[in-house]
Amino acid sequence: AAADFKAKMIAERPSWASRKASQEALEQLTAAVPELIGGSADLTHSNLTITKATRPVTPEDAGGRYLHYGVREHAMAAIMNGLALHGGFIPYGGTFMVFSDYLRPALRLSALMGLRVLYVMTHDSIGLGEDGPTHQPVEHLASLRAMPNLLVFRPCDPVETMEAYEVALENTAGPSLLSLSRQNLPTLRSDGGENLTALGGYVLAEAEGPRRVTLIATGSEVELAMQARDILKSRGVAAAVVSMPCWALFDRQDGAYRQRVLGPGTVRVAVEAGARFGWERYVGPEGAVIGLDSFGLSGPAGEVYRHFGITAEAVAEAALARI
């Protein structure tokens, strides 16, 4: 199911929000894996977590595979832990990324107990737009990445989204969390043979000529990195783009692979619509990080990105300033 899905995405190249890519991936996976039991904390039609195969559980019908948890993020995560401990189920549940704060104690226990629980966190950045700073995650990615034994994925397109689910389903020793966009994103991958997301980070687009700059991004900002690469090319600077959907998995790779991906001796610039915290480990002391150091703002996504200087032009200028 996963291979066919990835091949279809590469052929059709849809522009979907990664929450929509998640929904389409779950349609395939819930049909193929009967152990999957889904749910959402009162945001089913925003998280897009219900599928044709997951009939809701009701007081009259306990035979379904989807739980409407209500506005109970902590209870949802705690129940998913119980399902995983019982055995025979692979639970997944959704809410907005910013509300991961409400379920964090139970998520921490998922990680501490080594439970295969899947967290589907949508609306993952300032890109959600008009809902404003109360709903726009900023520090959440950094905080969640700091949790031991939790795989945090931020996929850039439908191919990476399906690959993240593949890794999550194979990860029987701990939970996985998918950080997913509200806004539409282009399909960037052109090869679905190897699960590159399983490597944590990889070269999505190599430099045309000797590499002078390495642009590193996750999720919705990979598109910006690709645009910045084109700007740099027009200025005679050869740049590569690294997609890094999962820091923890990238850090598990051997040193030679990590150095090859990050480009020894190159100027490194990272871009992510979240807190800058932690990116220094990849860009080094001479590199740059384009991100946030404040809470967000209410407004159309594109305008909010421009307000905070998270643009392809800013990424390119940061690289040029360091050459």
pLDDT tens digit sequence for 79-92: 999 999 999 999 99
Report yes or no on 150 lying in a domain: yes
Q: Are residues 155 and 232 in the same domain?
A: no
What percent of the chain is modeled with pLDDT above 70? 100
How high is the pLDDT of residue 201?
A: 98
Q: Domain containing 167 — which CATH number?
A: 3.40.50.970
Q: Global pTM?
A: 0.97
pLDDT band at 138 (very low <50, low <70, confident <90, very high): very high
How high is the pLDDT of residue 94?
A: 98
Q: Are residues 47 and 175 in the same domain?
A: yes
Helices (H) and strands (E) in the chain, counts: 13, 13
pLDDT band at 117 (very low <50, low <70, confident <90, very high): very high
Determine whether 163 is an active site residue.
no
Q: Which residues contact 73 (CB under 8 A, 6 or more apart)?
A: 41, 95, 99, 100, 102, 103
Instruction: Dihedral sign for Cα 85, 137, 197, 157, please.
Output: positive
Q: Are residues 10 and 130 in the same domain?
A: yes
pLDDT tens digit sequence for 182-204: 999 999 999 989 999 999 999 99
Cα separation of 261 and 272, whole Å?
18
Which residue, 134, 157, 185, sits at the end of a domain?
185
Q: Give the pLDDT mean for 135-157.
A: 98
How high is the pLDDT of residue 82?
A: 98
Q: Are residues 19 and 62 in the same domain?
A: yes
Q: What type of residue is 113?
A: M
pLDDT band at 102 (very low <50, low <70, confident <90, very high): very high
Q: Are residues 169 and 267 in the same domain?
A: no
Cα separation of 254 and 10, whole Å?
29
How high is the pLDDT of residue 312?
A: 98
Burial (CB < 10 A; 0-12, 13-18, 19+), residue 52, is: exposed
How high is the pLDDT of residue 268?
A: 98
Q: Are residues 260 and 287 in the same domain?
A: yes
Total domains present in the chain = 2
pLDDT band at 115 (very low <50, low <70, confident <90, very high): very high
Q: Give the pLDDT mean for 50-69.
A: 96
Cα separation of 275 and 143, whole Å?
10
Q: Are residues 29 and 49 in the same domain?
A: yes
Q: Are residues 215 and 180 in the same domain?
A: no
Report yes or no on 190 lying in a domain: no
Among the listed residues 73, 163, 221, 223, the single catalytic one is 73
pLDDT tens digit sequence for 276-302: 999 999 999 999 999 999 999 999 999
Q: Are residues 44 and 159 in the same domain?
A: yes
Strand intervals (E) in 139-278: 151-153, 176-179, 184-185, 202-205, 213-217, 239-243, 267-275
**C-beta neighbour count of 256 within 10 angstroms:** 8
Q: What type of residue is 141?
A: L
Q: What type of residue is 184?
A: N
Domain residue limits at 149 = 2-185
